[in-house]
A = this chain, B = another copy of it.
């Protein structure tokens, strides 16, 4: 006998979790599509040189890699960005530019499994490549907004910045060549106190006036107009910095035109998001009820996606929904339905001799748009209803000999345990309409 078990850092998704994930993937697909992003897919396995070209030392170390049957060195993808870069370089002439894609797929990282991190998880990326238009930047922000609103995460805040603002402020402070050091320290704000960060910057030989300006910048908050005004002052005449402030202003204006509430946005000059990749706007987003969860959707603009694979420059902008983190957050907030079935109606199997009647009823309900589970065995009704309750069915439908004789059916609201008698006189349409209305009513409580 082999012990049934999963590898450390890997997990099964039972129906409740799988249903919650499918629902979010479905919403993401719908929102991405509503802006014209098209799906793509790439292989889980790639040539090792394709994957290691861009990765950091850390991802290289974490990558699952091996030699395949044909003696090729291969690796399992650790993100969707590197495969997309390879894909874009390979197919750009078929795709046409600008090109908008989404990609929702599993990635693997053999990393430390502490703190709820898994070695297998999903990413849901969307990107627009082949254009430097600020419209694409704005659209990324709108998609993130629509996505979080459609998922129904409760209140959320999108934090925006532009890497050029950071660059401008650093240039103005004479720290242009210390960017990596400074940003690494500033990145600790939130986890560490301002004093601790200041001490670290001092240790790096940064002067006190510069530290004060940096901490002032990082602490800016409140209405976008006011923050942008202060940033204008901080970047002074530095051209890149002015471009960054302008770009942020355009986003604020465009989002308003698209009808998005101001409360959903904050300009947050402390956001940098990695040191090498992003070159323009950057974005993070947080649940208002659980900010400690970290950003659930992050992204930004980059200058060149696929420089390792093609000479054709492919600038782009995009973001990634951290679906596993978001699911963990929604679970912590008690916002996930504890339901183990995708069906609405549990049809009790009361009388084996009535099989054909049950089949006709189930077929009619399905044709009417209801998902129906028909219990396969004529077991005790109590036992059937117990399973239906465990699985979270909102409704059960019971028909025995008496009901068939009288042309009725018993509808049971599984949440309130209330029963309703439906008079349908053998007319399936009457039954379907009644069951649909009663089932919808269970949702409204």
Which residues does A use to contact B, with CB under 8 Å?
1-8, 10-15, 18-19, 21-22, 29, 33-47, 49-50, 53, 62, 64-70, 72, 74, 76, 86-87, 89-91, 94-96, 98, 100-101, 106, 108, 110, 120, 128, 131, 133, 135-136, 138-139, 142, 146, 253-254, 257-259, 306, 308-311, 340-343, 346, 349, 355-357, 359-360, 362-363, 366, 370-377, 387, 390-391
Q: Which residues of B contact A136 (CB under 8 A)?
A: 376
Are A43 and B10 neighbours in the complex by a CB distance under 8 Å?
yes
Are B258 and A38 neighbours in the complex by a CB distance under 8 Å?
no
Q: Which residues of B contact A34 (CB under 8 A)?
A: 343, 366, 370-372
Q: A34-B371, A371-B36 are in contact. Are A45 and B29 (CB under 8 A)?
A: no
Q: Give min CB distance, A352 to chain B, whole Å.
A: 9
Bound together, the chains give a CA A156 to CA B86 distance in angstroms of 40
Are B35 and A373 neighbours in the complex by a CB distance under 8 Å?
yes
Are A131 and B12 neighbours in the complex by a CB distance under 8 Å?
no
Count of identical protomers in the assembly: 2
Task: Known A-B contacts: A7-B72, A19-B39. Give 9 more (CB < 8 A).
Answer: A1-B311, A4-B87, A4-B310, A15-B38, A35-B373, A69-B110, A96-B391, A131-B376, A133-B376
Q: Give min CB distance, A22 to chain B, whole Å.
A: 6
Q: Which residues of B contact A39 (CB under 8 A)?
A: 13, 15, 18-19, 22, 342
Does more than half of chain A's interface fall in helix, strand or loop, or is it mixed? mixed
Q: Which residues of B contact A42 (CB under 8 A)?
A: 6, 12-13
Q: Which residues of B contact A253 (CB under 8 A)?
A: 356
Bound together, the chains give a CA A346 to CA B38 distance in angstroms of 13
Q: Which residues of B contact A373 (CB under 8 A)?
A: 35-36, 100
Question: Which of chain B's residues has its CB closest to A317's CB?
Answer: B376
Identify 25 residue pairs between A and B in the complex whose beta-carbon atoms are under 8 Å apart, listed by A's number: A2-B49, A2-B308, A4-B50, A10-B43, A10-B45, A13-B40, A14-B40, A15-B38, A18-B38, A21-B41, A35-B374, A36-B346, A38-B340, A45-B108, A96-B387, A133-B377, A135-B349, A142-B363, A253-B356, A254-B355, A257-B357, A257-B359, A257-B360, A258-B362, A259-B360
Are A96 and B45 neighbours in the complex by a CB distance under 8 Å?
no
Question: Which of chain B's residues has its CB closest to A53's CB?
Answer: B2
Cβ contact of A90, chosen from B12, B21, B36, B131, cutoff 8 A:
B12
Are A90 and B5 neighbours in the complex by a CB distance under 8 Å?
yes
Are A309 and B377 neighbours in the complex by a CB distance under 8 Å?
no
Question: Which of chain B's residues has its CB closest to A65's CB?
Answer: B66
Are A43 and B5 neighbours in the complex by a CB distance under 8 Å?
no
Q: Which residues of B contact A133 (CB under 8 A)?
A: 376-377
Bound together, the chains give a CA A76 to CA B106 distance in angstroms of 13
Bound together, the chains give a CA A67 to CA B49 distance in angstroms of 20
Question: Which of chain B's residues has its CB closest to A38's CB?
Answer: B15
Bound together, the chains give a CA A42 to CA B359 distance in angstroms of 32
Are A135 and B254 neighbours in the complex by a CB distance under 8 Å?
no
Kindly name the residue among A68, A74, A91 whose own CB sees the greatest number of chain B CB atoms within 10 A. A68
Are B98 and A135 neighbours in the complex by a CB distance under 8 Å?
no
Q: Which residues of B contact A22 (CB under 8 A)?
A: 29, 39
Bound together, the chains give a CA A49 to CA B5 distance in angstroms of 10
Are B36 and A139 neighbours in the complex by a CB distance under 8 Å?
no
